[in-house]
């Protein structure tokens, strides 16, 4: 084996090892949510009733809480939604531009975010459904999408039957904690009855 061939051979295997290491690292990061024994979904699934909005308690020393990494200056309300039996309606008063409503899949992928600053009015009505299970709302969704703006009343065609909704309420100061809790307590997450119209509910 000549020195030149040996050098090229070594460079080849070093490059291959580095590339393989990068691919394994990326693969492990992408698949970690599917194999984590105690991810957010498993905690929500065991602690929360489906289609019911729950205000999370303030984070306390020694108490990790249901939601990981809860900020002490933010209050949260969460709902574990399930649309297998029909659409779900979320209502929430969003009094501040910094408040937000985020939707996540079971694996923690954020697929929609509604900011308070984007709303025309404080009251948000968000309807979750699967278009294939509710063909009558197809025209309604198409009209919403064509307008290209986020309305206070909105319908969202989701790809998975289950997921998590998180209302995030940052506090300007501790003095606003009770007020934020009151707003979050009035938020709802309810399954619509079969006879309810997605447009008129």
Same-domain check for residues 31 and 45:
no
CA 152/CA 17 separation, integer angstroms: 53
Among 68-82, 88-102, 123-137, 144-158, the least confident range: 144-158
pLDDT value of residue 135: 45
User: Cα separation of 19 and 131, whole Å?
Assistant: 42
Task: Report yes or no: 11 and 17 within 8 Å, Cβ to Cβ.
Answer: no
Q: Is residue 198 part of a domain?
A: no
97 shares its domain with 24: no
129 in a domain, yes or no?
yes
For the chain, what is the domain count? 2
Q: Token digits for 194?
A: 């079969």
Mark whether 20 and 90 lie in a shared domain: no
Whether residue 186 lies inside any domain: the answer is: yes
Top pLDDT among 104 and 197 is at 104
**pLDDT, tens only, 147-177:** 443 446 888 888 889 999 999 999 988 889 9
Same domain, 21 and 63: no
Over residues 24-43, the pLDDT tens digits come to 767 566 555 555 555 667 77
Q: Is the pLDDT of residue 184 over 90?
A: yes
Same domain? 168 vs 81: yes
- DSSP SS3 for 12: helix
What is the per-residue pLDDT for 196? Answer: 55
Tell me, what CATH number does 139's domain have?
A: 2.60.40
Q: How would you label 35-65 residue by residue, b for 16+ Cβ within 10 Å and e otherwise?
A: eeeebbbebbeeebebbebbbbeebeeeeee
CA dihedral for 91, 189, 161, 43, sign (positive or negative): positive
Q: Is residue 199 part of a domain?
A: no
pLDDT tens for each residue of 36-86: 555 667 777 777 889 999 999 887 665 556 766 788 899 999 999 999 988
Structure tokens at 38: 């105690």
Question: Same domain, yes or no, for 5 and 101?
Answer: no
Residues 88 and 174 in one domain: yes
Q: Is residue 16 part of a domain?
A: yes
Contacts of 159 (CB under 8 A, 6+ apart): 111, 130
Is residue 128 packed enough to be buried (19+ CB in 10 Å), middle (13-18) or exposed (0-12)?
Answer: buried
The pLDDT assigned to 35 comes to 56
- The contacts found for 129-138 with CB under 8 angstroms, 24 or more apart, are 129/83, 129/86, 129/87, 129/88, 129/155, 129/156, 129/157, 129/158, 129/198, 130/83, 130/157, 130/158, 130/159, 130/161, 131/157, 133/83, 133/86, 134/87, 134/198, 136/197, 136/198, 137/198, 137/199
**Domain carrying residue 146:** 40-191
Average pLDDT, integer, range 76-98: 93
For range 171-196, the mean pLDDT: 87
- Whether 55 and 4 share a structural domain: no
Give me the percent of the chain exceeding a pLDDT of 70.
Answer: 67
> Is the confidence at residue 181, as pLDDT, over 60?
yes
Least confident of 15-24, 113-122, 161-170: 15-24
- The reply to whether 101 and 117 lie within a common domain is yes
Residue 120 DSSP SS3: coil
In a domain, 197, yes or no: no
Residues 70 and 142 in one domain: yes
């Amino acid at each position: 084996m000549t020195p030149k061939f040996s050098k090229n051979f070594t460079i080849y295997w070093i490059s291959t090892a580095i590339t393989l290491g990068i691919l394994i690292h990326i693969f492990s990061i992408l698949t970690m949510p599917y194999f984590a024994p105690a991810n957010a979904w498993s905690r929500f699934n065991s602690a929360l009733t489906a289609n019911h909005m729950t205000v999370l308690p303030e984070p306390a020393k020694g108490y990790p809480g249901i939601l990981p990494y809860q900020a002490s200056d933010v209050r949260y309300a969460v709902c574990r939604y399930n649309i297998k039996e029909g659409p779900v309606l979320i209502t929430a008063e969003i009094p501040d531009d910094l408040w937000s409503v985020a939707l996540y899949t079971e694996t923690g992928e954020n697929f929609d975010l509604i900011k308070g600053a984007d709303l025309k009015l404080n009251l948000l009505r968000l309807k979750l459904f699967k278009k294939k299970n509710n063909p009558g709302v197809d025209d309604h969704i198409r009209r919403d999408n064509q307008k290209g703006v986020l309305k206070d009343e909105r319908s969202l065609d989701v790809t998975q039957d289950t997921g998590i909704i998180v209302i995030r309420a940052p506090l300007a100061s501790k003095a606003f904690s009770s007020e934020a809790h009151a707003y979050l307590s009035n938020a709802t997450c309810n399954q619509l009855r079969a006879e309810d119209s997605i447009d008129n509910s």
